[in-house]
Structure 1
C-alpha cells in the first residue's frame, strides 16, 4: 500500500511540475529574455598565451590566460582612466604591440557590417584616454604594425593620426564624396556580399598605407522614402517625407569601378597600384603581409568563378600573380573570408575537388600540400603553425549538421581535438598552443572551455547554467532530428519541435520554417538552430500554442559539398521550393500531422522560398508568411545574384522564373511583411509582387513597418511582427 501511495505521489508531483511550467511571452522573448551569455570581444594577444575579452558588465577589457582560463590583468576600465572620461564603450581594437587600444563609443550602424563611431586612444601603461580625432565620427580604423599610427575613414576619405607627433592628424585623400568616390571602405554591395568592412591596410613596416578606391559615380541610385515614424522619431519628416538615396547596382547593371592605391607616409606620394582587373571585375580584399614590399590584393571576374591573388609592391606598384583558382560555377565567399596569409605561406580554402578543402602554398604561390581529403567540407580555418606544419581548422566531418575542431599534421595525420558532438568553434592563442572552444547543441546553450592544442580541457570559462535552468522552468521540449528521401531520390535532413503535451494519437498543425539560401544551414546541431535564434525560443513559443515546428534544409544549402550546394545554379528557387513541398508531403503522411493544416514561413531568402513553395503547383500549404522577401532576383544586387544566376541577359529563363511570374499559382493564405527602409531587399520587391497578386485576383495581406530596415526591429517592432506571424497561423491553421 505504501508503494502505491508513493507512486501516486510521484505521479502527482510530475503532473504538478509540468503544469507549473512557465509560458513564453512574446514581449520578453523579443526583449532577449532567452539570450545566452557569450564571451565577447575575445582577442588573442600577439606573442603570448593570453587573450583579452570584454567583461560581462561591459565596463572592462580583461586579460586572461589561455593556459589556466583565469584572469591575469585588467587592461581597461571605464571608471579608471586619466584624461578623457567615458561612461561606457561598445568595443575595442588592440594595437599589434599590445601597448594601446582603440576604445569604441557612440557606435552608429551604417550597413550590415559597417559603422561610424567615436574612438579613443587608450595607453595602458599610463591609463591615458584621449580622442582619436576631434573632426567627427570615424570608420574602419586600423593600427600600423608598430602601434604608432592609426588610419581611418571619415566622409569617404582617409585620415592618418601619428601618435608620436602628439596625435597629429592629416588627410590622405581628398576626392571622397558620398555616392561618388569611396576610399578605404567598400561600397554597399561589396560590404554586403563579400563580407568585409575595411579596405585599408598598412604595409609591414608601417611606412606605406594601401587601400581600395571605389568609383560609384556611374552606379544607379536606389531611393528609400523616410517618414517621421516613432522610436526613433524623425521630426524633420513630420509633414513631407524625406529620402535616403544610395548606390545599389542591381543584377546586370553597372558596378562601381575599383582600383588599388598606396600612400608613402614620408614623401606623401600617392600612386595607383598596377593590379590587373576586368573593367567590371572585383577586388574583394586588400591584406598586409610580413614583407614591407608586398601586400596582397584579391581580384575576381564578374562571373566570380576565378579568384586571383596578387602580390603587390606598394612602392613600385608592380603586381605579380601568385595563384589563380578556377572553380566550377562560382567561388564561395568563404574562400576569401577564411583564407590565411603568413610570413611565408598562403592557406586558401577551395572546393575545386567537390568539397571545401585547404590548399597550402608558399608565399610565391607554389602548392605545398592539400589539407582534407574526405567527402566533407572544411568550414573554418584557425591557423597554420609554420614551425610544426600543423593546420588547425573546423570541419563538418562527422555529418553535415556537426562541427568539430581538427589539426592536420605535416605527416598527413589528422586529429580531432573536440570530443562532444554538436557545434564547436574555436579561438586560438597567437602561438596556437591553446584555444577557447565554444560548444553547444540543439538543446544546450553555449559552453566555453579553455583547451590545449591537443584537445585537453583545462578550464570551463562560461556554462550558461542560469539559462539552462530557465528553459527547464519554461518546459522547453527537445528538437527531434529526422531524415527522409524525396520522390526525386534526394535525402534531406530536418528537425522538429513538438508541444510539451504531445499526444501521438492526435493530429497537429505544422509550421515549417526555412531559409533555403545558397550555402546556408538551419538544420545544425547548435544552440543557433531556430527561426529567431535564442535557442529557437520563438519556435518553442509556437509549440506552446499547439503547433509542431519543422525545419528542413533542401538542395542548395551547405555542409554537403559543392554538388548539393551548387545544383541550384542558374535556377534559384526552383529546387528549393520543390524540396519544401516534398517536406510537407512527407509530413502529411505522419500519423500525428494534420496534412490539411501545414504552413510555411521564412525571412529574406526564406521569404522568397516561401512564395516559390506556395506557388510551386502542388497545393500543400494552407498558409504562409514571407518576411522581407526578394520576389524577383532582377531587383537584387549584382554580386550575390550574379554569383548564382549570372546576368539577366545571359540567363533570362532563370530570372523569369520568380515569385512574381508565379503569382497566379499562389495557393494558401499569404501574409507579406516588409520594412519601408530596407536597404538590402528593397520594398520594391513586395510592391511589385503585391501588384502581380492583385492582377491575378489573389487575396493576401501585407504589413509595412515604417522606417525599418531588413532586420525589422527597434522599439516594439519585433514584438508586433512576431505577434502578427503567430496570429496568422493561429487563424488559418487551427
Structure 2
C-alpha cells in the first residue's frame, strides 16, 4: 500500500508528447483503478432487520471494514460487533491471515437479541456468539444454480398439477387437454376436447379463489428459432462444442394464446370471445380477482402500439377492456409497465404515458374509468417503491420535477391516491438511493452527484425530516492523489430548446495547455438513460483509457428514456439516429467552452446497442466521428432478439430495418474501425458482427476484427481493453503501442 501511495506522488507525464506508449505507461493507466481504494466511509449493504426499525450497514474505514447497527426509532447508532475479534477467531479457524479490510460478510443475520450473528464468509456459513466470540462453522455454501438462459422458451406443457384452493381438486394436462381429478375419490373428469399437439392447453392453471372455476390459456404454438455458435476452445476437452439457444428474431411467428374458462361443477367450458386479441405479441396468464367474480389478462399487441388490460366475467365469460393504451409510435411496456390491484376498493394503480409523460393513474377496476390522475406535470415517475393500501399513499422515485437541476436525478416522493399531498422526501439536488423499513416508518437515503461524494442519512417517511446523520464519504486521500471529478455539462439538443445532459471525464494528469482527442462512451438504447449520476471514483470502461491522454464524454441524446415521450420517440423505427445530432452538438458546445478538446479527433466506443451505435456513428456521421471500437454490436436489428428490436423498430418488418442496418450501409465506412465479438455471445447473435465484417470485406474496407474465444456478451474484457486502448493511441495520438509479443529478458 505504501508503494502504491508513493507512486501517486509523481505526476503522470503527458503521453501526447511521447513517441511511444510503453507497457509501463499502460500499467500506470491501469493503476488508476486503485484510486477507488482511497474512498473511505461509503455506506453499503444497508439491510433492515425483520420488520423492526433496526438495520445494519457495512462501512469501509481507514482501519478496515466495520459493521454498524442502527435503531431508527431510538435514533441510536453503534458498532454491531468487534471486527478485530471476529477476524481473530476467523484466522484461527481458517488458518489464514486475513485483516479487517478483507471482512466482507454475506447473508449477515442477527438473532433477536442481537447477541449472535450468522454470516457467509468466503463461501462458508458461520455462527458467532458475540459475548465470547465463539465461532462455529455451520455449512459450506452450495454451488448456486444459475437462473437459466434468459431467452429460453417458456414451458407451457411441463408444469406440475395444480391443486384448487380448497384442496378438493387437482388440475392437470393429458394429451394436450384439461383434466381435473377429485382428490378424495381419485375420479377424473375431462374438461376440454379440442387440444392438439400444435394447439394445446397450457399447464399454467389459474383456479378461482372459491375453487368453482378454472382458467387457463390455450396455446397455438409457433415454430421455434434457434441460434448456434461454436465454443472453439473448451476448458475440459480438445474438440470444439456446438451450442444452441432459443432465440426468436424480429418478424418470427409467435405463439398465440386464448384464455379458456371452465366450470368445475358442470364440468363444461364457458365460451370466451377473444377474437379481438389475435394479433398478439403476448397474452398473459389469467389472474383472478379475490372475490372470484372475474379474471383479467393483459394483451400486448404485436408491434407494441396497443396494450390492454382485459376483464373476463367468471360466470358468463363476457369480455370487457378495462385499460386501453394506444400509441402512434410504441408503448414502452418493457420499461414502464406498472400495475397494482387494490382488491378491497376495486381499483388499479396504473402507469401510463398517455399525457406525454410517465405518470400514475387510479383506475376503477369494475368499469375501467379513470377515477383520477395521481401524478402529473412535465416530469416522470421512474419507479414505484411501495404502495400503502391502508393510508392510500404511494412512495415512488421521480425525476425532472425540480427546476435548475439535472432532470435525471432520482428523488423519493410520497403522494396520496387522489393526487394530493405530494412531498419530495429527499429535497437535496442530488441523485438519491433509498431503502425503507418494512413498516414504511423510516428510510435511509444515500445521495450524491458525480462531483459530490455520498451522504447517508435516516429520514422519516412522514415528511422526509432527517432523524440521523449516518455517514459522509471521505475522499480527501483521493483528492490528494490528483483525482479530478467528472464535470456535468449541458447543451441544447437539435431542436435548440431541449437540454442534453452528460459528463466530461479528464485524466489525472490533465493539462489545459495541451489538446486532447475526445472519446465518447456511447450507449443509446431507448430503454433507459445511461450517463452517470451518482458518485464513483473510477470507471472500468474508460478511466484507464483517459489516463493515456484522452478526454472521455458520455451523454444521453434524444431517443433514450426517462424524459418525455416525445424525447424517447425519436428512436421509433430509427435506431441509427442514436441521438447523434444531439451528441455532436453537445460535444461541439463543450469544445467551444474548452479549447483543449479537439473536435478533429473524435472517436467512440460501446457494447451491445452501444456497439451498434459506434459503427452507426462512423457510417452515418463520418464528418465528425473518425474512429470507433464496436463490441458485441447488433449491426442489423433483424438479427437481434425479437422483444427488444420490435419494441423500437416496429412490426411488421419495414424498410426502416434495412435503412438502419450497419450491414446494409457498410460501404459508407470512412473512419477507422475495430470490431470485437465473443464467440459465445447468447445476448446478441455473434453472427451479426460476422455479417457486418463480411459486408465490409465485400466493400473492400479496411478494419480490425477481434474474436474472443469462449467469451459471451462483453466489451472485450482485459484483452479487449488492451486492443481498444492501442487502437485509439495509434489513430489519435499517432504513437507506437507496446510490443506485447516481446519476450521478457531474464
Q: TM-score when scaled to structure 2?
A: 0.71
Matched, 1:413 2:421: yes
Kindly indicate whether the alpha-carbon contact (under 8 Å) linking 2:32 and 2:543 is maintained by their aligned counterparts in 1: no
Give 1:349-364 correspondences, 5 Å limit.
Answer: 349-364=351-366
Indicate which of 570, 577, 580 corresponds to 2:580.
577
Q: Secondary structure at 2:643's aligned position in 1?
A: helix
Question: What's the CA shift string for 1:22-71, capped at 9, x where partnerless?
Answer: 9563797899999987437x6896xx5569999999xxxx9997646986
Matched, 1:616 2:620: yes
Q: Secondary structure at 2:664's aligned position in 1?
A: coil
Matched, 1:88 2:96: no
Matched, 1:374 2:377: yes
Q: CA 1:423–1:296 in structure 2 vs 1: closer, same or farther (change >3 Å)?
A: farther
Separation in structure 1 between the aligned mates of residue 683 and residue 226 of structure 2, nearest angstrom: 11
Indicate which of 111, 117, 134 corresponds to 2:149.
111
Question: What's the CA shift string for 1:423-456, capped at 9, x where partnerless?
Answer: 2243444544333434342245666544321212
Q: CA 1:259–1:49 in structure 2 vs 1: closer, same or farther (change >3 Å)?
A: farther
Unaligned runs of 5+ in 2: 14-26, 61-67, 78-109, 120-124, 129-136, 177-196, 734-746
Kindly indicate whether the alpha-carbon contact (under 8 Å) linking 2:165 and 2:207 is maintained by their aligned counterparts in 1: no
Q: What is the root-mean-square deviation of aligned Cα atoms in Å?
A: 4.8
Indicate the residue corresponding to 2:743 in structure 1: none
Separation in structure 2 between the aligned mates of residue 175 and residue 30 of structure 1, nearest angstrom: 63
Give 1:36-115 correspondences, 5 Å limit.
Answer: 38-39=44-45, 48=51, 67=73, 73=112, 78-79=125-126, 86-88=139-141, 106-112=144-150
Q: Secondary structure at 1:512's aligned position in 2?
A: strand
Separation in structure 2 between the aligned mates of residue 214 and residue 55 of structure 1, nearest angstrom: 49
Q: Secondary structure at 1:515's aligned position in 2?
A: coil
After superposing the two structures, state which structure 1 stretch, 424-433 or 349-358, moved more: 424-433
Matched, 1:483 2:490: yes
Matched, 1:249 2:248: yes
Q: Secondary structure at 1:633's aligned position in 2?
A: coil
After superposing the two structures, state which structure 1 stretch, 513-522 or 285-294, moved more: 285-294
Matched, 1:239 2:242: no
Indicate the residue corresponding to 1:226 in structure 2: 230
Indicate the residue corresponding to 2:278 in structure 1: 278
Kindly indicate whether the alpha-carbon contact (under 8 Å) linking 2:607 and 2:714 is maintained by their aligned counterparts in 1: no
Matched, 1:457 2:466: yes
Kindly indicate whether the alpha-carbon contact (under 8 Å) linking 1:64 and 1:72 is maintained by their aligned counterparts in 2: no
Separation in structure 1 between the aligned mates of residue 152 and residue 477 of structure 2, nearest angstrom: 34
Q: Secondary structure at 1:574's aligned position in 2?
A: coil
Q: CA 1:54–1:677 in structure 2 vs 1: closer, same or farther (change >3 Å)?
A: farther
Indicate the residue corresponding to 2:672 in structure 1: 669
Matched, 1:652 2:690: no
Matched, 1:404 2:411: yes
Q: Secondary structure at 2:543's aligned position in 1?
A: helix
Separation in structure 1 between the aligned mates of residue 232 and residue 163 of structure 2, nearest angstrom: 38
Matched, 1:505 2:558: no
Q: Of the two, which has the highest radius of gyration?
A: 2
Deviation at 1:700, TM superposition (A): 0.6
Kindly indicate whether the alpha-carbon contact (under 8 Å) linking 1:445 and 1:535 is maintained by their aligned counterparts in 2: no
Question: What's the CA shift string for 1:189-241, capped at 9, x where partnerless?
Answer: xxxxxxxxxx888876899997778665423x2322232535xx253xx3253
Separation in structure 1 between the aligned mates of residue 726 and residue 288 of structure 2, nearest angstrom: 53
Q: CA 1:155–1:366 in structure 2 vs 1: closer, same or farther (change >3 Å)?
A: closer
Matched, 1:710 2:713: yes
Deviation at 1:693, TM superposition (A): 0.8
Deviation at 1:610, TM superposition (A): 1.0
Separation in structure 2 between the aligned mates of residue 202 and residue 26 of structure 1, nearest angstrom: 59
Indicate the residue corresponding to 1:636 in structure 2: 640
Separation in structure 2 between the aligned mates of residue 457 and residue 493 of structure 1, nearest angstrom: 30
Kindly indicate whether the alpha-carbon contact (under 8 Å) linking 1:181 and 1:217 is maintained by their aligned counterparts in 2: no
Matched, 1:25 2:17: no
Deviation at 1:481, TM superposition (A): 1.3
Q: Secondary structure at 2:356's aligned position in 1?
A: coil
After superposing the two structures, state which structure 1 stretch, 640-649 or 469-478, moved more: 469-478
Q: Secondary structure at 1:484's aligned position in 2?
A: strand
Kindly indicate whether the alpha-carbon contact (under 8 Å) linking 2:677 and 2:714 is maintained by their aligned counterparts in 1: no
Question: What's the CA shift string for 1:83-112, capped at 9, x where partnerless?
Answer: x975236xxxxxxxxxxxxxxx62214234
Question: What's the CA shift string for 1:517-565, capped at 9, x where partnerless?
Answer: 214212342247xxxxx85344322222221110121110123201111
Indicate which of 545, 561, 566 corresponds to 2:564.
561
Question: What's the CA shift string for 1:554-597, capped at 9, x where partnerless?
Answer: 11012320111102212221252333344454455441112332
Separation in structure 1 between the aligned mates of residue 36 and residue 675 of structure 2, nearest angstrom: 23
Kindly indicate whether the alpha-carbon contact (under 8 Å) linking 2:156 and 2:202 is maintained by their aligned counterparts in 1: no
Deviation at 1:478, TM superposition (A): 0.8
Kindly indicate whether the alpha-carbon contact (under 8 Å) linking 1:183 and 1:212 is maintained by their aligned counterparts in 2: yes
Separation in structure 1 between the aligned mates of residue 680 and residue 38 of structure 2, nearest angstrom: 27
Q: CA 1:674–1:273 in structure 2 vs 1: closer, same or farther (change >3 Å)?
A: farther
Q: CA 1:160–1:546 in structure 2 vs 1: closer, same or farther (change >3 Å)?
A: farther
Kindly indicate whether the alpha-carbon contact (under 8 Å) linking 2:302 and 2:651 is maintained by their aligned counterparts in 1: no
Q: CA 1:448–1:164 in structure 2 vs 1: closer, same or farther (change >3 Å)?
A: farther
Separation in structure 2 between the aligned mates of residue 261 and residue 471 of structure 1, nearest angstrom: 63
Give 1:181-200 correspondences, 5 Å limit.
Answer: none
Kindly indicate whether the alpha-carbon contact (under 8 Å) linking 1:581 and 1:618 is maintained by their aligned counterparts in 2: no
Separation in structure 2 between the aligned mates of residue 710 and residue 621 of structure 1, nearest angstrom: 25
Question: What's the CA shift string for 1:491-523, capped at 9, x where partnerless?
Answer: 422210112232222111211111112142123
Separation in structure 2 between the aligned mates of residue 215 and residue 43 of structure 1, nearest angstrom: 46
Matched, 1:342 2:351: no
Separation in structure 1 between the aligned mates of residue 202 and residue 385 of structure 2, nearest angstrom: 26
Kindly indicate whether the alpha-carbon contact (under 8 Å) linking 1:625 and 1:725 is maintained by their aligned counterparts in 2: yes
Unaligned runs of 5+ in 1: 1-12, 90-104, 116-138, 140-152, 186-198, 529-533
Kindly indicate whether the alpha-carbon contact (under 8 Å) linking 1:209 and 1:264 is maintained by their aligned counterparts in 2: yes
Q: CA 1:37–1:25 in structure 2 vs 1: closer, same or farther (change >3 Å)?
A: farther
Separation in structure 2 between the aligned mates of residue 702 and residue 725 of structure 1, nearest angstrom: 11
After superposing the two structures, state which structure 1 stretch, 440-449 or 312-321, moved more: 312-321
Aligned pair count?
A: 625
Deviation at 1:697, TM superposition (A): 1.4
Indicate which of 522, 546, 550 corresponds to 1:547.
550
Q: CA 1:598–1:319 in structure 2 vs 1: closer, same or farther (change >3 Å)?
A: same
Indicate the residue corresponding to 2:101 in structure 1: none
